[in-house]
A and B are shown apart, each in its own frame.
Chain A
Amino acid sequence: EAGVVQSPRYKIIEKKQPVAFWCNPISGHNTLYWYRQNLGQGPELLIRYENEEAVDDSQLPKDRFSAERLKGVDSTLKIQPAELGDSAVYLCASSLMGQGSGNTIYFGEGSWLTVV
């Protein structure tokens, strides 16, 4: 069974340019997460979806970040315009269900963004 698939794996862009990341979660997983991981740090949640609904986007910088999960499966995360401080790994993850403990969250390989 395929795991969480992300693309692109690596992206280098100039500041002020837009960038988008795509994620395909594990089949059947209703909950999808986008995390950001800075170098040497643990991942931090940006947004969580349950099906099509964003149920927690409190940590998403809404002035430049946007995300969507239109059909409740794939998701995209966009940054426009990118800033130097956005350089990080953007991790997508999914779980069978979001609410309640014991729902293991599986991560993709990440999209590594460098803004120059």
Chain B
Amino acid sequence: GESVGLHLPTLSVQEGDNSIINCAYSNSASDYFIWYKQESGKGPQFIIDIRSNMDKRQGQRVTVLLNKTVKHLSLQIAATQPGDSAVYFCAENPSTGKLIFGQGTTLQVKP
């Protein structure tokens, strides 16, 4: 079936460095993607989204890149902070309205 997956289950970075979290999706017809951050004991929190007619979108300290040719999505976090430690999920939101999540990448920020 359809699935959205992440390349690495865990990513460890030094505080102040940039982080890059990757995601591969399988549904070439998907036209909208979202990154969520989930801290321990909390629900997923919306970070940033991107439509398929774009290849880059920037937010505050975060950038999402979309490569439709290889069906790849990435989340870049600039100057990673301890508060960025969490599990990050990419999700595909096709026109059916059904959000499909990947497995998640745990970001660990070392002080």
Contact = CB atoms under 8 A, between A and B. Distances in A.
Nearest to A91: B43
A43 B97 contact: no
Interface centre among B32, B43, B45, B46 (most CB of A within 10 A): B43
B101 A44 contact: yes
Contacts of A41: 103-104
Contact of B99 (A33, A55, A100, A108): A33
B51 A102 contact: yes
The B interface is mostly helix, strand or loop, or mixed, namely: loop
B50 to A, nearest CB: 10
Interface of B: 4, 31-32, 34, 36, 41-46, 49, 51, 89, 91, 93-99, 101-104
6 contacts: A33-B99, A56-B97, A56-B98, A93-B43, A100-B95, A106-B46
A27 interface: no
Nearest to B43: A107
A22 B96 CA distance: 25
Given A102-B51, A106-B46, A107-B44, A48 B89 contact: no
A110 B42 contact: yes
